[in-house]
Structure 1
Amino acid sequence: MAIIKLSVSEQRRLSVFFTCLLLALIAWVFAMLSGTYSFTVKQTITFKNVPQRRAFRTLQPDTVEATMQGTGWQMVFSHVADEKQPVTIDLHTLEQKDFIALNTQISQINKTRDATHKILSFEPDTLYFDFTNRMVKKIRVEPVFNINYQPQYAISGKITIKPAYVTLNGPGNVIEKISTWKTDTLTLNGVNELIKGTLQLQAVKEGNISVYPKSVQVQIPVEEFTEKTLKISVRLINNPHYYNVKIFPQHISVTFTTPLSRYTELDENFFEATVDLKLWEEGYTVLPVNITRMPAYCKIVNITPRNIDFLVKK
Structure 2
Amino acid sequence: MIRKLKSKILISIKNRRINVFLLFLLSAFVILIFSKLSKEYTKTVAFTIEKTNVPQKYIILNDSIKLNVTLKTHGFKWIKYAFNRPKIKVDFNKDVYKKDAYFVWHKSKAFLNNTQFDKQVEILNISPDTLRFRFGVNLVKKVPVKLNTDIAYSVGYDLSGDMVSEPDSVIVVGPNTLASTINFLETEVLKLADVRSNISETVKLKLPDKKSDLKFSTDKVTIKASVEKFTEGTLKIPVTMVNVPDNMTLKYFPKAISVSYYVSLNNFDAVKPKDFKVVCDYGKVSENQSFLIPELVRFPEVVKNVKIGQQHVEFIITK
CA distance in 1, matches of 2:51, 2:221: 24
Kindly state the Cα deviation for residue 308 of structure 1 after the two structures are TM-superposed. Answer: 0.9
CA distance in 1, matches of 2:191, 2:230: 21
TM-score, normalization: structure 1?
Answer: 0.57
Query: Of residues 177, 183, 188 in structure 2, which corresponds to 1:184?
Result: 188
Q: Give the direction of change, closer, same or farther, for the CA distance of 1:281–1:181 in structure 2 (3 Å limit).
A: same
* Contact preservation (8 Å) 2:58, 2:135: no
Kindly state the Cα deviation for residue 130 of structure 1 after the two structures are TM-superposed. Answer: 7.6
How far does the alpha carbon of each residue in 1:178-219 deviate from its partner, in whole angstroms, 9 at most, with x for none? 332212221111111111233332224223222213333322
Number of equivalenced pairs: 221
* Contact preservation (8 Å) 2:148, 2:187: yes
CA distance in 2, matches of 1:158, 1:242: 47
TM-score, normalization: structure 2?
Answer: 0.56
Q: Give the direction of change, closer, same or farther, for the CA distance of 1:130–1:302 in structure 2 (3 Å limit).
A: same
Q: Residue 235 of structure 1 aligns with which residue?
A: 240
How far does the alpha carbon of each residue in 1:11-70 deviate from its partner, in whole angstroms, 9 at most, with x for none? xxxxxxxxxxxxxxxxxxxxxxxxxxxxxxxxxxxx998874235778xxx99xxxxxxx
Structure 1: state its 5+ residue gaps.
1-46, 64-89, 105-120
Q: Residue 275 of structure 1 aligns with which residue?
A: 280
CA distance in 2, matches of 1:142, 1:91: 39
Kindly state the Cα deviation for residue 128 of structure 1 after the two structures are TM-superposed. Answer: 8.8
2:255 corresponds to 1:253: no
Kindly state the Cα deviation for residue 154 of structure 1 after the two structures are TM-superposed. Answer: 1.2
Identity %: 27
Kindly state the Cα deviation for residue 243 of structure 1 after the two structures are TM-superposed. Answer: 4.0
* Contact preservation (8 Å) 1:233, 1:272: yes
Structure 2 letter corresponding to 1:96:
K
Q: Give the direction of change, closer, same or farther, for the CA distance of 1:300–1:100 in structure 2 (3 Å limit).
A: same
* Contact preservation (8 Å) 1:53, 1:95: no
Residue pairs, 1:73-222, within 5 angstroms: 96=98, 98=101, 131=136, 133-206=137-210, 207-222=212-227
* Contact preservation (8 Å) 1:91, 1:100: no
Q: Residue 309 of structure 1 aligns with which residue?
A: 314
Query: Of residues 263, 275, 300 in structure 1, which corresponds to 2:268?
Result: 263
Q: Residue 15 of structure 1 aligns with which residue?
A: none
CA distance in 2, matches of 1:130, 1:143: 33
